[in-house]
Every structure is written in C-alpha cells, then in structure tokens.
Structure 1
Amino acid sequence: RAVTSDQTPPSADYLPQSGGLYRDTLIHDFDVLRWVTGREVVDVYAAGSDAGPPMFRAADDVDTGAVLLTLDDGTLATATAARLNGAGYDVRMELAGELDQIVVGLDDRTPIASTEPTGPPAADKPWTGFVERFGPAYEAELTTFVQVVRGERANPCDGREALQALRIAEACDVSRRERRPVRLAEVPETLTS
C-alpha cells in the first residue's frame, strides 16, 4: 500500500501543466513499487474524485485517486493520493507478507493519529511538503547527477525506469477516464506527447 497526500494543493496555474494526479504525484509510487518488489505492473484499475476545489475540475484533473495494481506474479498493490490533506504531508508505503508487515515513511511527523484511547496522538509538527520531507534525498540525487555529468560514475537511472513508471501513470489515466481495467501492454513503450 502506497500513500501520498499533499498538505496543500498546487496552484491552479500549475494544474493544467502538471500532467494530472497520476503523472505528477503517483508516478513516484509506481517507480518505487517496481523497485521495492522487483516486479512489473501488468494491469491497473484507477478511480479518481474531483469533489474538492473547483480548480481540479477546471483542469480536467482529480484531487483524490486510488489505484489497484496487479504485478506480474499476481501480487496486488494499492496506491492512493490526495492533493489536500489538512493534517500534513504524508508519504509512506506498507508492505505485508506471509511473515511480517512493515512500513516505510512512518515517523513522529507522519500526519496520522489513532482514534483508539491508547493509540498515538497526532504529530506535533507534521511534514508540510515534499521539499522538507525529502530534502536529503534531493541533495543526494543532485550530488549523483553532478558525478554522472563529470564522468565520475555511471548513470544509476538511465530513463527506462522512469518510462515504465510513466506508462503505469498513463494506464491509470485511461482507466479512470474509461472506467475500466487497463493492461499495461495497451500503453506503447515509446510515449509521445
């Protein structure tokens, strides 16, 4: 289960050029899902809601989305995204298997709280956005980029991984619009805009 929720939505001017919720937000979850599992996505079923601010409808986008993904070994995965989570910025992944269940991205700033009397309270200082949450990761990416440009190391990400994540996002957009499951094989391996 992958969860991505923005505390505040992007500007109305950004939305029409963002590529939509699946390409702009969930694409990162699709990328990491493939990396974590070592598996390929074979089909998706996506739904979305534009019940939030009118700017999403004006941009032909959704403010909330949910995706059911089937991997090539039959494993099911879900990914959800929301453009407006007043509690804070939330990015995490839960992995459940036969022997254990773990979560990545859960810390004392994760904007969730339990309704159970003995459960954890809401975060005192929840994450507010991706720059704050992933600053060290961005710094590491920039360092690697400079090293690749200088010829000091090989490119660890040559674009094929990004293309696969984009194909999944494209399949999600088709699925949401046509209200049907979409096999990844329906999306060309070379995308043009």
Structure 2
Amino acid sequence: MGLTVGVIGLGRIGGFHADTLTALPSVAELVVTDANPAAVAATTDRLASARAASDADSLLNSEIDAVVIASATPTHAELIEKAIAAGIPTLCEKPIALSVAESAEVVARVADTDVPVTIGYNRRFDPAMAAARSAVDAGELGFITTVRSTTLDPAPPPAAYVAASGGIFRDCAVHDFDTVRWLLDDDVVEVYATGSNQGDPLFADVGDVDSASILLRFARGTTGVVSVTRYNARGYDCRLEVHGSTDSVVAGWDPATPVRNMQADCAFPAAEPHRFFMDRFAAAYRAELAAFCASVIDPSTTATSAPCTAQDALEVALIAEAATRSVATGRAVLIDEIRDALVPAR
C-alpha cells in the first residue's frame, strides 16, 4: 500500500511537486492545500489521487504519512515545527526561514526530535552533479583548486516575489552555496560578494541586486566562484565546474545549455535551450521526492541518498547572510562573524 503525502502550497513549485508525487509508485494518495482555493480546485481536478484539506492544520491532522511544504517562505518555520510536533516526516522547500536567527531556532528544535526533516536543495539529486561529487569523493581530481557554480535565470520573477524573497543571495544563490558545500564536503569560512543593478529598478528599490558574483574561501583551501543573475534571456543556465590538481569535470554542459558557441565549425550546444529550472531539473526533483518517500517507508535508505539536512540549510543561510553583508559593506565577511551574532535559540 502506498503513502499518503500532504502538499502544502500549490504555486509554481508546489503544483509541480504534486504532479511528480502522483507519478511515483510509492505514493497512493495526496492531500493538498493552499491559501488560494482556486489552486486547490485546479490540483484536485487535475489529479485523481488528490483530495483537498481546508488549511495546513487540517492537512497535518489528515493521517498523512509525510508532508511536502512548498508554501511561501515566511510560513516555512512554523509549518516545519507543526509537522515535527505531529511526528510527520517533512520535506520543506528552501529556505528554512528568511532570517538566520529563525533558521537556527528551527534547527535546534529539529535536533531535539527523531522526526526526519529534509530541506529541498534538489541539485544534490541531479545525475551529473551527483557524478561530480562521486569523482571528488573517489579522489579522481586530486586536490580541488576551484569549484564554479552558475545560475542564470532567463527573466526576473514577479515584483511581489522579489520584494518578499529576501534577496538574490537568500533566494537564488543558496542553491549554488549548498551545491558547492555538498560537493566538497567542506565548510565555507569567508565570503566576498559584489553585485549590480542594470535592469529593473525594482531590485534596487528593495535593497537587492539583479546580478552578483561571490567568492567563497573553504576551510581546506579550495576557492568557490558563484555567479548568479536574473537576466539571461537565452535560457535557464545552471552548471558546475570542478577543477582539480589531476583532473577537471563539469556538470550541466548538455546540448540544451543556453549559450552560443563562437568556435568555428562547432555545433555544440545544438538543442533548444533550457527555458526554466523545472525543465532543467525535472529528473533531480523526481529523484529527490522518490528518495524522500523511500526514506519514509524505510529510514535506512537515507544512508544511500543525499538529503539536505536542516543543519546543512543553516550553513547555507550563514553564507547567504555573509554575502548580503559583504555587498552592503564592500568587504569580505567571515562566516564566524555571522555565526557568533546569532541570537541563542529559545
């Protein structure tokens, strides 16, 4: 008999997760809810296995086996805590919360329970990025000199989303931060970030930037280089390069990579460019949700997957906060500077 999985939030990513979960053999039924009744009706009309709950509290009391939280970021912390209190295994989309302090409080609560909580950093499940991690783990690349992670969005998100996002480092670059930490199995100790606004003045109006580059210094000496922008009209470009002393590997350089190759007589890349993160990472999302469901059925399976823990997500939040502070001050920021300023968890 399959799982009954709750989905809280049925916007862009929540609706995608609902569709993906329905197609998994391990899932028998969905219970769904959203602040927008039209989104709930659209989902239950589209998916025969989905039934509606009036709100999140009702959903968490619906005898579900697991829950996926895909609602707006300000709701994440409270919903994680409610799910933990109900003893329900949880996968929550990133981030845990908008502030580092609130994230730390949630992490402390998670540490006091046996209820599994996974944060949705799906790139860990991208086949090519996972292969790059395996190559690093196996020592195939020697010592790692540089890791480069790139996320170029084809167009800015809606204005309301930008205003509530927490900024490009907390909203967009966090995926890159998690990927490079996980890839190297190493901690960032110092961050320098710079950014600019050349597009819609909306970003500057809310204290954000539309494009940024971030240098990360890792504890074992590797340099991380992260590049992000809201403006890449050619398509959604997300790739990873790992440069080692004996070899180098890349992930995300596929025929649909949205670049024009200026090398004469070279047809690569030849496919229609990726247009959005959900087509670029469809396989990764499927693998992430399948691994989550498998871990609910048999918790020992987490040993063979790559879930992002709440503690991992807190480390990513510290990097994002340091990058935000670096842009504001024009200087490099030590991670310990951010960590030491945390308000102790209640």
TM-score normalised over the length of structure 1: 0.91
Q: CA deviation at 1:191?
A: 6.8
Instruction: Tell me the amino acid that sits aligned with residue 57 of structure 1.
Output: A
Q: Does 1:159 align with 2:320?
A: no
Instruction: Tell me the amino acid that sits aligned with residue 152 of structure 1.
Output: D
SS in structure 2 of the partner of residue 79 of structure 1: strand
Q: CA deviation at 1:169?
A: 0.6
Q: CA deviation at 1:77?
A: 1.3
Distance 1:163 1:61, change over 3 A: same
Distance 1:191 1:127, change over 3 A: farther
- 1:175 is matched with 326
Contact in 2 for aligned 1:111/1:123 (Cα 8 Å): no
Contact in 1 for aligned 2:176/2:226 (Cα 8 Å): yes
Instruction: Tell me the amino acid that sits aligned with residue 63 of structure 1.
Output: D
Task: Please give the alpha-carbon distance, in whole angstroms, between the structure 1 residues aligned to 2:309 and 2:198.
Answer: 38
- 2:293 is matched with 146
What is the alpha-carbon root mean square deviation over aligned residues?
1.9
Task: Please give the alpha-carbon distance, in whole angstroms, between the structure 2 residues aligned to 1:167 and 1:96.
Answer: 25
Q: Which sections of structure 2, spanning at least 5 residues, go unmatched? A: 1-147
- 2:235 is matched with 88
Q: Does 1:49 align with 2:196?
A: yes
Task: Please give the alpha-carbon distance, in whole angstroms, between the structure 2 residues aligned to 1:109 and 1:191.
Answer: 45
Contact in 2 for aligned 1:64/1:82 (Cα 8 Å): yes
Task: Please give the alpha-carbon distance, in whole angstroms, between the structure 2 residues aligned to 1:56 and 1:85.
Answer: 16
Decide which structure has the larger Cα Rg and report it.
Answer: 2
Q: Does 1:14 align with 2:167?
A: no
Q: CA deviation at 1:122?
A: 5.3
Q: CA deviation at 1:39?
A: 1.2
SS in structure 2 of the partner of residue 13 of structure 1: helix
Q: Does 1:35 align with 2:186?
A: no
Q: CA deviation at 1:157?
A: 3.4
Instruction: Tell me the amino acid that sits aligned with residue 313 of structure 2.
Output: A
- 1:25 is matched with 172
Q: 2:206 aligns with which of 59, 68, 75?
A: 59
Contact in 2 for aligned 1:113/1:119 (Cα 8 Å): no
SS in structure 2 of the partner of residue 96 of structure 1: strand
| Residues 111-148 of structure 1 deviation map (CA, whole Å, 9 limit, x = unaligned) | 11222213445544100111111112112222333344
- Structure number with the higher helix fraction is 2
Instruction: Tell me the amino acid that sits aligned with residue 336 of structure 2.
Output: A
Distance 1:191 1:7, change over 3 A: farther
Q: CA deviation at 1:60?
A: 1.5
Aligned sequence identity (%): 38
Contact in 2 for aligned 1:113/1:120 (Cα 8 Å): no
Q: CA deviation at 1:90?
A: 0.4
Q: CA deviation at 1:152?
A: 2.5
The higher-RCO structure (CA 8 Å, 6+ apart) is: 1
Q: Which sections of structure 1, spanning at least 5 residues, go unmatched? A: none
Distance 1:123 1:10, change over 3 A: farther
Structure 1's consecutive aligned runs of 4 or more residues displaced over 6 angstroms after TM superposition are none
Q: 1:129 aligns with which of 266, 272, 276?
A: 276
Q: CA deviation at 1:3?
A: 0.6
- Count of equivalent residues: 191
Instruction: Tell me the amino acid that sits aligned with residue 37 of structure 1.
Output: L
Distance 1:186 1:123, change over 3 A: farther
SS in structure 1 of the partner of residue 284 of structure 2: helix
Contact in 1 for aligned 2:151/2:227 (Cα 8 Å): yes
Distance 1:51 1:38, change over 3 A: same
- 1:77 is matched with 224
SS in structure 1 of the partner of residue 159 of structure 2: coil
| Residues 29-60 of structure 1 deviation map (CA, whole Å, 9 limit, x = unaligned) | 11110111111101010001111111211222
